[in-house]
Structure 1
Amino acid sequence: MFSRRVFLATASLSTAVLASATVLKANADSDTKLDYPIPKVAAPPPKREELIKKLHQASGETPDDVYDILVIGGGATGTGVAVDAASRGLKVALLERDDFSCGTSSRSTKLVHGGVRYLEKAVWNLDYSQYELVREALHERKVFLDIAPHLSFALPIMIPVYKWWQLPYFWIGVKAYDFLAGKQNLESSYLLTKSKALEAFPQLNPEKVKGAVVYYDGSHNDARMNVSLALSAIELGATVLNHVEVTGIDKDPSTGKIIGVTAKDLESSDSENNNTFKVKAKSVVNATGPFTDSIRKLDNFQTQSIVAPSSGVHIVLPGYYCPKKLGLLDAATSDGRVIFFLPWQGSTIAGTTDNPTNISPNPTPSEEDIQFILKEVRRYFEGNLDVRREDVLAAWSGIRPLVRDPHAKNTESLVRNHLITVSDSGLVTIAGGKWTTYRQMAQETVNKCIETFGLAPKRLTTATESLELVGSQGWTNLEYIHLIQMFNLAPNVAKHLSENYGTRAFTVVEFLEPSKLTSDNKDTVSLATATAGKTLIDPYPFLHAEIKYAMRYEYATTAIDFLARRTRLAFLDSRAAYEVLPTVIEEMSKELGWSNARKQKEHDTSVEYLKGMGLQLKD
């Protein structure tokens, strides 16, 4: 392990001293000339207090004191809107009540896909609109993988075949998928014989499988992608804040048109003015996913609800239940629902369900849903593996915000993709859609704001198709090797840093730099440095040093911000997250100056969240 190999907290730490702890020092002290460019250590982003101050300055007293666009909601779509608008030179603010990606955007299946199942519907139903949705999504899939290559990658996905006649049927389907992607296709699909299918996915039951087809879609780290979007928007000049709640929609009393919002800073300790302030904006965008209707009712309490929430439950199993670089999709479940097995972050994701649900900030998967997924999983491994309830490391429920068009004659029918509406008072609502098409949705939303409110961007067209996100610039899949060579990192730690932070991994490593050597022993690294270099808990590669980085560079202000969305430990193993919770709270408390009462609140709130992620505690 990294903690034993690099930062041994003993008197013999001399063998683990990082003599080249910073990028520049590594280059300067070495006699060997490096043949690859060294990413510069990133400057910290604006402090939270500075961003809050900017919001307070948007008083509307002068034309410059008004935001062009104010976005409510810090999920995929909201941060996407902020990036698009800021890249066009518009003055943008984004306010998120909880944390970036705290809801649906962190609870996805982790796929970046065109919708191979929708293509089947398009063919069988002769539905050209479904065909167009798939074609557009395939384009967005390629853009997605290009602008954040460290967070996303092409993943081969197997469709097992149980009857001989299905082989040509599925093969034609995936070839049509390839053809529709055109030049933006990831890799060509292919057939597998029974023996090759079992060789590729040995966990499958050999008595049932006749063969398989394999096609390619994308996989990604959803919450990390969301955080990268927020940071990219800030780099482009946007004022982006988490833990700031919009409590009211402000209107001009003479016209009834929206002129801004009333907001409350949930992290402020200044209780004298109740932490509440007003922010003026020419346009306000509602991008709150499942909570779309709650914001629409702030605008007009009589408005018709448009969200039809559906629950999608996923479970996480150990990595040995799925090949490391091959997923599985099958629609032949006992009730016709699609099931996935996907390798993710060294573990296996299995799911999903699709049931009507109530809207909740922290939806919890039911035991019934977990058992349904386990039952389906056992069907695949029957005779080979016994999948036990105790193998479930984590489980989560994501709310899909399916939407109805309020202007459609048949209001019961759901919108297939996404919906953009503008209320009489001027509230712009963007709802529906999926992770893959977030960028297109954001582009259309910004276009609607420019058109409706006469905004004057410096650039009329979007640049987001080629705008690399934070951590992507100059990144290659060899970055982790550079980290190993320069900092003696364990391979799994280096790969984790590279694939979660991109080129920003070199900034994370700065938090491992030895502080001043003691006068008694010049070869001994300080205990604080030794701790920073340790992993939080085996067998996961997350470092103590990432806690401080998350606070200073990524606006993590709660323990769950870190455990669930800066790292993904809560999604990978809720018990492991629970065990490291005291360490995380203590480290954040030192940096943020928490009182004992705040630390207790963090603990209690975090435990409740982890229970919603499948944590089971004995009474």
Structure 2
Amino acid sequence: MAFQKAVKGTVLIGGGAIATVFGLSQFSQYRNKHGALVQVQAAEAAPLKKEHLPTREQQILALQTTKEFDVLVIGKPGLALERDDFSSGTSSRSTKLIHGGVRYLQKAIMKLDFEQYRMVKEALEERAHLLQSAPHLSAPLPIMLPIYKWWQLPYYWIGIKLYDLVAGSQCLKSSYVLTKSRALELFPMLRKDRLVGAIVYYDGITEPDSGRLRVCGVRCRADVLTGKEFDVRAKCVINATGPFTDSVRKMDDQEVPNICQPSAGVHIVMPGYYSPDNMGLLDPATSDGRVIFFLPWEKMTIAGTTDSPTDVTSHPIPTEEDINFILSEVRNYLGADVEVRRGDVLAAWSGIRPLVTNPNSKDTQSISRNHVVNISDSGLITIAGGKWTTYRAMARDTIDAAIQEHKLKAGSCRTMGLQLEGAQDWSPTLYIRLVQDYGLESEVAQHLASTYGDKAFEVAKIAQVTGKRWPIVGKRLVSEFPYIEAEVVYGVKEYARTAVDMISRRTRLAFLNVQAAEEALPRIVDIMAKELNWTEQKKKEELETAKTFLYYEMGYKVKTDQLTDSSEISLVPSESRGEYKKRFHMFDKDKKGFITILDVQRVLQVRLPSSCPAGLGLAEPSSCPVGAARLGLADRPALGRAGLGLAELVLARGERLGWV
């Protein structure tokens, strides 16, 4: 009887929710239909883009000589001033999803919150726009929601169907239910015990890479590279600085209350075998009530994100605690035959979400996941909050506010339906022409096509001859990734001026594998030095700055805190690989993927005879059953790592212990 009541209750609630959402969705589509048509027509009437970018020096000269601009935007690409490189802050550190937000729809329904519903609806509309305007940078992605309790199947199925319904005609593909066997076939590394089945829905994935006086100008250290300062004047100033929103607002008015509540989001990158090539996974309820995604990205797996209060900084650093939290959630969803190891974390980073309280709302304590446009008494326009998916709508609302507040002359909005750079002549088979016409490797050609769109031909034209039979052109920066040297030259033409620009945003090496990024640095610096006429001292400075960036901001520090680079490594084919693993796992009782000095001491304290000192590095093999003196690691925090092949350590009677 209780079971029947539960089922009936679920059906009734779900049916009511579906009817309500359907009505709202139909009304919204009717209201937006005419507006969308007008914007598409405006986009089609947009003037042709410039064929060639002006140089950085030409841009700075224009800043210095132009008497007044209409709009000055601080923080985003009027006149736009970036603090560092394009997307150098939070913008480059996202989960890569373009989505409406399944959990926000859940909150909208459970709390009858129309504002949350409106936010989801807008995000789904913008998702469709981004997939259309930048098809080379974005694509639909199926995301699996594993079900481990029977009651969750109808509960989540209704929620996901509502998500489809809100998307309406812009629904990417209809969601569906999978049996246990089918779910394991598509995602074989899933935990099998108690698995009921799964639900699959679709979102998008992308590669993105800001006295009362009227604010009408700023003092700019616009050329950070040279330190030159000059004044820039504009009729309207827009504050789009993300986590630094309040800092700029207080330059305008010291008395304004803070509206930004910064939240740190940490992501990790793991090898591609942690997820299928073409399907992501959603953990809707982590151990602390958050949501975490596991997504395929650039043939790797990206996992995250965390959500915790943080201080605002230009250089957020991932913590070991956050990394281990994500790893523990990964372990919860993967089968026992898949060992989740700390040593498999190839890169990690932290980004700061600029969550905001709406200063225009009576309830200033509530955090908004939507974007907020605020106009100060002096006319400073602030855009805060939001996410990558809704970037176009955020820009539209901000410019609309600027036009109204400052009486600017403007035509219709032209961004809906306007294709982004590289999309005009792109097609899924464009990479084949790159292979045929230029002699590029297929993997490299696919990478160039999906990164630059129809501009990939410009990169291919400047690719150097390899001197090999195949590929004919396209020298890789590192062997295991498809980034080539020509991209460094092209990146300089697109205003890259530092090695950090190149390893983190012009290429994504720093986000994919910090060790590979470090290996590529010397060659990248050499190429940039040739293009930019760097001195030897400048080259040295760029190299050190980039290494510091990798060490702190991209997780190299927390990685090397666990690992050591002084362990003896010498492959011995005659030794038993299985025996190496067995011995390693004897010490790695917590299945971390590495072993520390404490792990070794814990095991050896039980096994050592009284004649052998317990401390490592103090005994000789002749007087002690353990040849610890040959380790040379007594003062090092870690003993080794997993995931780089068959390694060996001097550990037992001078023998070598190896693991994978």
Same fold (TM over 0.5): yes
For 2:153, the equivalent position in structure 1 comes to 167
Residue type of the partner of 1:257? R
| Alpha-carbon spacing, 1:346–1:122, altered in 2? closer, same or farther (3 Å) | same
What corresponds to 2:390 in structure 1? 437
Return the offset for 1:384: 2.0
- What are the within-5 Å matches in structure 2 for residues 91-102 of structure 1? 92-102=78-88
Deviations 1:63-103 (A, max 9, x none): xx3111000003xxxx3xxxxxxxxxxxx110011111111
CA distance in structure 2 between the aligned counterparts of 1:175 and 1:162, rounded to whole angstroms: 19
Aligned residues of 1:532 and 1:545 also touching (Cα < 8 A):
no
Question: Structure 1 residues 263, 148: closer, same or farther in 2, change over 3 A?
Answer: same
Match of 2:307 in 1: 354
Counterpart for residue 537 of structure 1 = 478
Partner in structure 1 of residue 217 of structure 2? 260
- The one-letter amino acid of 1:330's match is D
Counterpart pick for 2:523 among 564, 579, 583: 583
C-alpha separation in 2, matches of 1:484 and 1:352: 37
Between stretches 438-447 and 374-383, larger displacement belongs to 374-383
Q: Describe how 1:80-479 pairs up with structure 2 within 5 A.
A: 92-223=78-209, 256-269=213-226, 275-457=228-410, 459=411, 461-479=412-430
Which stretches of structure 1, 4 residues or longer, exceed 6 Å deviation after superposition?
529-532
- The one-letter amino acid of 1:548's match is V
Distance 1:422 1:133 in 2: 21
Displacement after TM superposition at 1:322 (Å) = 0.3
3-state SS in 1 of match to 2:529: helix
Q: Cα deviation per residue 1:356-413 (whole Å; 9 max; x = unaligned)?
A: 0111111111000001111111111241200111100000111110011234343322
Give the structure 2 partner of residue 239 of structure 1.
none
Give the AA of the match of 1:605: T
Q: Deviations over 1:456-505 (max 9, x none)?
A: 12x1x211011111101121111112212222221111110000000000
Unaligned runs of 5+ in 1: 1-41, 59-64, 80-91, 224-241, 243-252, 515-524
Deviation of 1:268 (Å): 4.7
**Alpha-carbon separation, structure 2, partners of 1:162 and 1:201:** 15
Q: Residue type of the partner of 1:53?
A: L
Whether the 8 Å contact between 1:531 and 1:544 is mirrored in structure 2 is: no
Counterpart CA distance in 2 for 1:488 and 1:99 is 32
Letter in 2 for 1:441: M
Task: Give the AA of the match of 2:89.
Answer: G
Aligned to 1:89: none
**Any idea what SS the aligned residue of 1:420 has?**
strand
1:54 aligns with 2:62: yes
Distance in 1 of aligned mates of 2:330 and 2:248: 39
**Counterpart AA for 1:148:** A
What is the correspondence of 1:27-38 to structure 2 with a 5 Å cutoff? none
Q: Quick one: distance in 1 between partners of 2:369 and 2:294?
A: 25
For 1:68, the aligned partner's letter is D
After superposition, the C-alpha distances for 1:294-342 in whole angstroms (9 at most, x for unaligned) are 1112222332211100011110000010000000001232222112110
1:605 aligned to which of 540, 545, 548: 545
Amino acid at match of 2:533: G
The amino acid across from 1:131 in the alignment is Y
Task: Specify every segment of 5 or more residues in structure 2 that has no aligned partner in the other structure, as ranges.
Answer: 1-49, 565-635, 637-660
Q: CA deviation at 1:562?
A: 0.9
* Higher radius of gyration, 1 or 2: 2
Counterpart in the other structure of 1:24: none
Moved more, 444-453 or 329-338: 329-338
1:483 lines up with 2:440 in the alignment: no
| Contact 1:511-1:532 within 8 A present in 2 as well | no
Q: Which residue, out of 500, 505, 517, partners 1:560?
A: 500
Deviation sequence 1:1-35 (CA, Å, 0-9, x none): xxxxxxxxxxxxxxxxxxxxxxxxxxxxxxxxxxx
**Distance in 1 between residues matched to 2:74 and 2:180, nearest whole Å:** 51
Q: For residues 152-191 of structure 1, what are the alpha-carbon distances to aligned partners after superposition, in whole Å with 9 as ceiling and x for unaligned?
A: 0000000000012222221221111111111111111111
Q: Is the 8 A contact 2:124 2:170 kept in 1?
A: yes
Cα offsets for 1:557-576 (capped at 9, x unmatched): 11111110111110001111
Q: CA 1:49–1:532 in 2, change beyond 3 Å: closer, same or farther? A: farther
* In the alignment, structure 1 residue 507 sits paired with structure 2 residue 458: yes
Give the secondary structure class of the aligned counterpart of 2:144. strand
Instruction: Tell me, in whole angstroms, the C-alpha distance in 1 between the residues paired with 2:287 and 2:415.
Output: 42
CA contact (8 A) 1:293 1:306 kept: yes
Partner of 1:72 in structure 2? 74
Q: Which residue of 2 aligns with 1:5?
A: none
Q: Provide the C-alpha distance between the structure 1 equivalents of 2:424 and 2:318, rounded to a whole number of angstroms.
A: 38
**How many equivalent residue pairs?**
509
Q: Comparing 169-178 with 531-540, which one deviates more in the overlay?
A: 531-540
- Specify whether residues 172 and 409 from structure 1 end up closer, same or farther in structure 2 by C-alpha distance, changes over 3 A only: closer
Residues 244-264 of structure 1: per-residue CA shift (max 9 Å, x gap): xxxxxxxxx8x7112211111
Q: How many angstroms does 1:425 deviate by?
A: 1.4
Match of 2:492 in 1: 551
Describe the SS at the equivalent of 1:222. coil
Q: CA deviation at 1:348?
A: 0.2
Between the aligned partners of 1:277 and 1:547, the Cα distance in structure 2 is 30
| Deviation for aligned residue 1:135 | 1.1
- Secondary structure of the 2:84 match is coil
How far apart, in 2, do the equivalents of 1:303 and 1:70 lie?
21
**Alignment partner of 1:258: what SS?**
coil
Please point out which of 444, 450, 454 is paired with 1:493: 444
Q: Of the two structures, which has the highest relative contact order with CA contacts closer than 8 Å and spacing of 6 or more?
A: 1
- SS of the residue corresponding to residue 512 of structure 1 reads coil
% identical equivalent positions: 52
Distance 1:283 1:576 in 2: 44
2:496 and 2:506 in contact (8 A); partners too: yes
For 1:99 and 1:561, locate their aligned partners in 2 and report how far apart those are by CA, in whole Å: 7
Any idea what the Cα deviations from partners look like across 1:211-260, whole Å, max 9, x if unmatched? 0000000000021xxxxxxxxxxxxxxxxxx9xxxxxxxxxx8x711221
Change (3 A) 1:526 1:386: closer
Distance of 2:95 and 2:258 partners within structure 1: 26
Give the secondary structure class of the aligned counterpart of 1:464. coil
The correspondence of residues 520-531 of structure 1 with structure 2, limited to 5 A, is none
- 1:596 CA displacement: 2.6
**Paired residue for 1:25?**
none
In 2, are the aligned partners of 1:532 and 1:544 still within 8 Å (CA)? no
- When the two chains are superposed, the root-mean-square deviation of aligned CA atoms in Å is 1.9
Question: What one-letter code is carried by the residue in structure 2 that aligns with 1:496?
Answer: H
Name the SS of the counterpart of 2:367 in structure 1: coil
CA contact (8 A) 1:204 1:384 kept: no
SS of alignment partner, residue 564 of structure 1: helix
